[in-house]
Amino acid sequence: MKLKKLLNFDFIEDFQSLLETGFEKELFLSSLRNYCSHGNPLRFHNFAFSMRELVLHLIDKKAKNEDVKKASWYKKESEKFEVTRRQKLKYCAQGILSDKYLDRYTLDELNLSIKEYLKEFNFFNKYTHITEKHLHASPKKFFLDMKYIIQRSKEVIEEIDDFEKIIKNCLEGKIYEPVMNAAIFSSPEDLSIISQRFYIDDITPEGLEIEYFDDEGIDALVEGTIHVTQEYGPRHDLCQISASYPFKLPVKACIRDPDNITASSGELDVDTSSWYE
């Protein structure tokens, strides 16, 4: 099959959508050229090896050695490598955040997920190792295996995001109390405009986006829903309305101290636009 025809397949385009830099796109194209070198019996093995290197590059881009070594949890665990693949995946999940932020259940879940990921990653070995049996496989089998490698490579890259979700779910529990305290002691102007009095009943954090971090701390943005009771009229003829609105609140956290999480009540931003609809 010629390269021009190959590039029109959906699974090729799906994988290309993950690539950002010129180097990544060029390496992927070169990998496909390897596959299309029909006169070379090693064309498929060269393709598989190149694809493995591309996926490793994408992991390394997310977790550079110098960044991983700044993490408070980092310690050298291999005589051969300064940073292991396991540590790179851990960094993709939690960055330089201390393990102290995470409960035992979360750490166990993360470690198990990384272990299973690395085991699955070894699927590449089946295709990069050259054996007599696979040297002259049929063109149909080569195509099916090539398609599988590309689709599986896409899954391997996307699965890295699942590690981060494990950490975020745990962090949302950690930030609930400081966010709730900030909400209780706040007086959002938007809520004051639409009600005579209001009381904050509860909050539901639904998203945590880390906007910036360095060796000392994290700046994050918490998004969620704030549940309030709005009051109208005099006390003897009171009208109460329960309502819920989206909110945003900046949060600061110390990298190494999980008890040092702060949220300023003055920065609570409540979106009450739905009230006017």
Residue whose structure tokens are 């010129």: 22
Are 29 and 12 within 8 A, CB to CB?
no
Token digits of residue 57: 């590059």
**Residue 124 CA to its chain's centroid (Å):** 23
What are the beta bridge partners of residue 198?
230
Output 63 or 131, whichever has higher pLDDT: 63
From the DSSP assignment, how many helices (H) and strands (E) are in the chain?
Answer: 11, 5
Amino acid 27: pLDDT: 95
Q: What is the pLDDT of residues 104-149, one digit of tens each?
A: 999 999 999 999 999 888 888 878 877 776 667 677 888 898 999 9
In the predicted model, is pLDDT for residue 76 greater than 90? Answer: yes
Are 156 and 192 within 8 A, CB to CB?
no
Q: What is the pLDDT of residues 189-222, one digit of tens each?
A: 889 999 988 988 998 888 777 776 665 677 888 8
Q: What is the pLDDT of residues 86-104, one digit of tens each?
A: 999 999 988 888 888 888 9
Are 261 and 175 within 8 A, CB to CB?
yes
Amino acid 235: pLDDT: 80
Phi-psi region of 95 (alpha: psi -120 to 50; beta: other; left: phi over 0): left
Please tell me what DSSP assigns to residue 41. T
DSSP secondary structure letters along 189-258: HHHHHH-SEEEEEEEEEEEEEEEEE-SSEEEEEEEEEEEEEEEES-GGG-EEEEEEEEEEEEEEEESS-T
In the predicted model, is pLDDT for residue 65 greater than 90? Answer: yes
Q: Across all residues in the chain, what is the average pLDDT?
A: 87
Q: pLDDT class for 151, splitting at 50, 70, 90?
A: very high
In the predicted model, is pLDDT for residue 257 greater than 70? Answer: yes
Please give, one letter per residue, the 3-state secondary structure of 166-192: HHHHHHHHHHHHHHHHHHHCCCCHHHH
Half-sphere exposure of 152 (CA within 13 A, CB side): 16
